[in-house]
Structure 1
Amino acid sequence: MARAALARVFEPGDERGGRWLREFGAAEVFRRLTGTEGVARTLAGMTEARLGGYRLRAAGVDPRKDLADMAALGGRFVCPGDQEWPTQLDDLGDARPVGLWVRGRRDLRLWALRSVAVVGARACTPYGAHMAAALGAGLAELGWVVVSGAAFGVDGAAHRGALAAGGATMAVLACGVDVAYPRGHAELIGRIAEQGLVMGELPPSEHPTRSRFVLRNRVIAALTRGTVVVEAEYRSGSLVTARSAQRLGRFTMGVPGPATSGLSAGVHELLRGEGVLVTDAAEISELIGEIGDLAPVGRGPVLPRDQLDPVSARVLDALPRRGVRDGRDVARSAGTSTDEALGRLYELYSLGFVEREGDGWKLTSGPTCNGDARRGVT
């Protein structure tokens, strides 16, 4: 009950308040803040101006109403020490949330154990939206929970990708979980609450501010195994999330974009440092997953010529692009005997790479040779 009350008194990330909670416990801190001035001043770092601000907020606190409002939404308030509390948030130290207001029927702690954040620009390009949706769907299909902030742009695309794949997704809001922000994502946030989880540090009816968006990002970083940035400028909240993840020892990844795009400049800066370049969900899973979560080895198409042994390949290379060559000249160019060259030429003939013309040999005019054997030869 005291933590529910303090969620309205302390701003998210208030490290001074977090230190008091660690030293005295929630009930005692709330008692001192609402007691006499002398009792309140026993909290280290308390000043008259600060005490006035805390008291002004504490005067209108009604934690029972907040908890009842959450229950009416089908939600709950999760505190440190609860069975559902994600203990990785404790890595934030005194800046960890006082508690989390949660909507959705899923178990927050279990879902957070295998989660990855996908964040990026609000005013993203079509490329950024496509990549975010593809990553969201791909990660969901691989059994990962996709976490983002439900904002326009990359966040929304990542959530939609996971939902479209029938997978798991969680939204961390910078406002009360009963407030649809942005308003244009009211339906999306409702779908996430039904199919996944919606959570935030702020109690019901609280609205977002610029500073709350920035502080919300530390929760996304701490909650997940790693953070993927799809598009971000040099000054971007997404880079704040990535840097928070780095400080916490989490994986940080970036999806590259055009070198000329300002929306990818921040991602490229991240990749020049400790960030890891990723292009699909399998590469993300390989980096942050368990042993055996390996991405497919990338390689180009296998051409018919690739199946030839080295000697046959040299014999084939000895034939000119145009014209005819006799077996002795082919042997000289291939560095083998005439008999060996003729034997290889007949083998290549049976495979469709070459054909005879009188006493000589030439490349076939069909796709097997022209499209494969001579491709890339200058």
Structure 2
Amino acid sequence: MTPLTRRASLKSIAALGAAGTLGGLHGLAGAQAKGLTVGVIYVGPRDDYGYNQAHALAAAELKKVAGVKVVEEENVPETTAVQKSMTGMVMQDGAKLLFPTSFGYFDPHVLAQAAKYPEVRFSHCGGLWTEGKHPKNAGSFFGYIEEAQFLNGVVAGHMSKSGKIAFVAAKPIPQVLRNINAFTLGARSVKPGITCSVIFTGDWSMAVKEAEATNSLADQGCDVFTMHVDGPKVVVETAAKRGKMVCGYHASQARLAPQAYLTGAEWNWITAYLQVLEAARTGKPHPNFLRGGMKEGFVKMSAYGPAVTDAAKKQADEVKAKMLAGQFDIFKGPLKDNKGKQILAAGQVHKQTDLALEQMNYLVEGVQGSF
């Protein structure tokens, strides 16, 4: 696929305290008066109904902010190509704030550009910025999306008739495992005996394998699906064609399968974008490490589909209210992995900011699958 480039056609929110002093960037304080150009870079198409679309929706909201000009480029691979894209936005467009959104952009590409252009701010999605190691004009933001996946699981638990739900996943990295585990725990909070079957495709965007995995899981009797791949479109449409129900991910896929779509775990990236933008426009230190969940407005749920029962809505809404109040923990004991090993004893809890969750390397009891 040939990238269609723009230039070718011309511990929670408190983690802000980790932000360092940004010396040379205080000159941006006057940007509000003269305007600020912001660059957004996507690894895939902006209309993928998934990861990239979630960021594109936030970029669209940025365009509504007075004095802000947004330039975008899609289909930029995680290679030196993204460094060329960033250079172009800085040198040709005068961008002073960049959002390179894909995980693989961070090291070495964002780090190299941040060192090269100390007067520009770089805010990356998902990378682990480290004080004393990484440039102060670089930073990362991310959200606790597993909170929304837990709520997906609550709804799935109510809606499943077979007692078998499904997860199509890309790679068994900690963030993906957190989502699989949260989805399963949400469902088992409704039906303790329910199982979640998972298939890993091996990469973030593999349409053929995503379709094969969905059909295989449907053949196994799974009746409610969710996923963690860049573009959920294939999984959603394939599951719906098989007469199955779906909980979405990244952005809303309700338009793809209105009757089959139950709800979804969505990013609300405009929350992070605006915090980073405000710091740039006022000359405040760059937010180097931003994290948040449902309470902080970093993630949200899709609207309920027509098939969702009142009982499912009631329980999911009750759990969501606790999350918004900061009174709900997903990973709490007693908790075992799917091989019978105890992870947490009764009374033990892993908070969202705990390093143990950043390093998760297990699947919980009830998950059928391995890696």
- TM-score, normalized by length of structure 1? 0.25
Bigger share in strand: 2
Identify the structure with the greater helix proportion.
1
Q: Which has the larger radius of gyration?
A: 1
